[in-house]
Chain A
Amino acid sequence: MHKVYHTVDNLAGSVVTLRADGVKYGELAEVTSRTGTSLAQVIKLDGGSVTLQVFAGARGIATDARVRFLGAPMRVPFSDALLGRSFTGAAKPRDKGPELHDNLIDIGTPSVNPAKRIIPTNMVRTNIPMIDVFNSLVESQKLPVFARAGEPYNELLARIALQAEVDIIVLGGMGLKYDDYLYFRDTLDENGALSRTVMFVHTASDPIVECMLVPDIALATAEKFALDGKKVLVLLTDMTSFADAMKEVAITMEQIPSNRGYPGDLYSQLAARYEKAVDFEGAGSITILAVTTMPGDDVTHPVPDNTGYITEGQFYLRNGRIEPFGSLSRLKQQVNKDSREDHRTIMDAMIKLYASFKETQEKQSMGFRMSEWDEKLLKYGERFESEMMDLSVNIPLERALDLGWRILADCFEANEAGIPSKLAEKFWPKETQTQADAAEPQSDVADEAEAPAESKNADTEAKDNE
């Protein structure tokens, strides 16, 4: 009963145009040509002319290709049988498992009514101090990792996925290197997590349009699991490939680009995906961790820029470490109040001292004199970087907080660290290893020794939130 056509009028990029009627906007068609069969989606209707986006690309499609309309938009199978499996961006098996046909669900579903959302309250523990202590990840948060290509962002994602106590992991790979796909698969498998994982992976060698489908398929699947009461973690890597795929298609369709070739609706397109992160009252939740590679390490590039306006913060991964500056979890306030009473204080104090360390480092490089206070900061900065920032550190939040106190006590006097005295009394470690290796007092000690007061002034958030 599906209508079949045999004449294609125009071909460009992944887009073909033909004359047909009774076609619905958004429905799928099957395009068969010498090179094989591909799915395609209706993206424009103009009188009797229908424009299709061919998932496998239009290459090799002949003007006499056979086009059969399927009468329904893209749907994907949903069941527990997905778990442990991997699929392509067109939802075809990528492993050797059987093709699934049951219980088809729509992708690109409507958005959640804001009135039904709730304020998120559960911390997702990662055992990475730069996250747990300084920018806590929260269940139902949407958070990207901003990084230059080549940074270990996929390793970071895999590690968080294994650590986080979630029921289901959905991996959406876009433009993923095949080796990286194998890395995810093997790592999850070795750690016994593959059986609660489903992967939708578009690799760099697959057709570009399939790349554009991955987030929708991954998120529609995640949404179903979440509505069934599951805590779902969605990993999307790399969203810049997704945006680039949209750019490529928009340009072949001769749309007017807005900024560096990207289509004017880039923001809305990204937002439609990220806003799928949600906590369903009385059911499960979706947390989204994504990778956004930054071409040229430039955060003002349209993809990271638009992403930053959409997501609830971002982790900056630079030189294999999560940078404290620029990284932000906008939801951390929701969870770091009740974790432990010293959490916010350690978070604020350590970051401010690290900022002072950075300034001292700059002064040092300019050749200005180093005071005793500067020496203390230099020592502190080194320990902060190796014991807190290094991604190999793998300790629970409480131990990280204890370690924070230890580092502070080893480097500073209790009244120098900008800590409210009430907390210092309770938490400041009593005996410290050192004081001996502090530098010789110098002439300007007097003024420099007061420097922490400045940081205390800058922000008293920790104090007030007790």
Chain B
Amino acid sequence: MSFATRVDEALADRNLKLAVERTAGTAEAKRTLAVDAFPDFDAARDRAAAIKDHVVANLGHYLQAFEANATAAGAQVHWARTAQEACDIVVRLCKAANAKSVARSKSMLGEEIGLPHALAEAGIGRIETDLAEHIIQLSGERPSHIIWPAMHKTREQVSALFKASHRAPHEEETIAAMAESARRHLREGMLAADVGISGANFLVADTGAVCTVTNEGNAELSLVPPRMHIVTAGIEKIVPSTGHAVHLLRMLSRSATGAPLSQYTTFYTGPKRALDRDGPEEMHIVLVDNGRTTMREEGLAEMLRCIRCGACMNHCVVFRQIGGHAYGGTYPGPMGAVLTPAFDGLKQSRDLPNACTLNGKCQEVCPVRIPLPTLLRGWREKSWREGLEPASLRSGLGTWAWFARRPRLYRAATATALRAMRLMGRSGWLTRLPLADGWTRYRDMPRPTEESFMAQYRKGRRS
């Protein structure tokens, strides 16, 4: 299915729009409160970006330091160039452990490399332990948001899924009762799993620790009881020390949910020690490249700063209209529109960078200051250079045309574009216009008035 078709389907789904608005809107409001309560947040973002840039610049050094320290703590470190190599390693480890079932704690990297599919192909049972991932597993869908993967599901849909699959499902139709049903069901699975699989929010170079962050505590319940803990982590997840992780944790939780810190932050260093009462006998860490070294070499190094907080999508006018599935990749929203062409190829995903108003909101809220609009523009220009745009859109109005054919999206987009244009306006005249790139290359446009014509018109009619 093409991107355009997926977008049109999403736009026609009123439930989806409500669901996305509710969750993203709440996240936006909570982030604003959290940032207002942190006076130096802007300077803190500069520091967060600098920490990540320092790591990306010295990535080889830090990966080797991490490997040495994790190994010294008793973990085994594996390296994977591609998604396939990473999945092969995990499947091989699971088979060596004679694993019948694995408990997986939500990891976007796991989705990125297709781990759920690889485990299924190998005949290894998998239970997703994050509540939203559990819902997604039952419905056979992909996550629609990196923090709230089931944000597109209504309570009625969740209820039906649980009733069809839980042994002793809820009787009362309340969200609390549904969560309780999942608690009973998933706890059994977690305590019975042979292997626990997680991602990593951070890999701490100087201790060899792997850090996970959750609000549910499902990571710990998935990773402590089984005999083996396998981590799959992107190589950019490295931080020099726990202190650097602390700084990024402050940014991550505030940007994601507005909390000063998520409920459970755990640093795992190696397997169970000789006298420990619990913990896995073996710990394996798979360091995954899957295109990251190429991104670093080919102009997308800034994207490797991403800490997967989801703020850019919560604040994106396009995401708020179409939700996550329409993007078609593992990662939705602005960060997804930058990452998907890198993972899947520009030819298949060249529409994604076009589905952006370049209003700059994502960059404004990104805790590590990734210049998302600039990176998206880079993809657009590359798509042009490589002649991937169809002839009908080569007039220079590709993006404009994309929006103009979707009136609801167009209205939402132009409302924020006006804001961006005011910011960009110099002495009342613009030299660059986000929705009409090709046009302003040759002529200037007047700076817009404070409200769009439609908004002024509606106001005029009311007064």
Asked if A and B are interacting partners, one says no
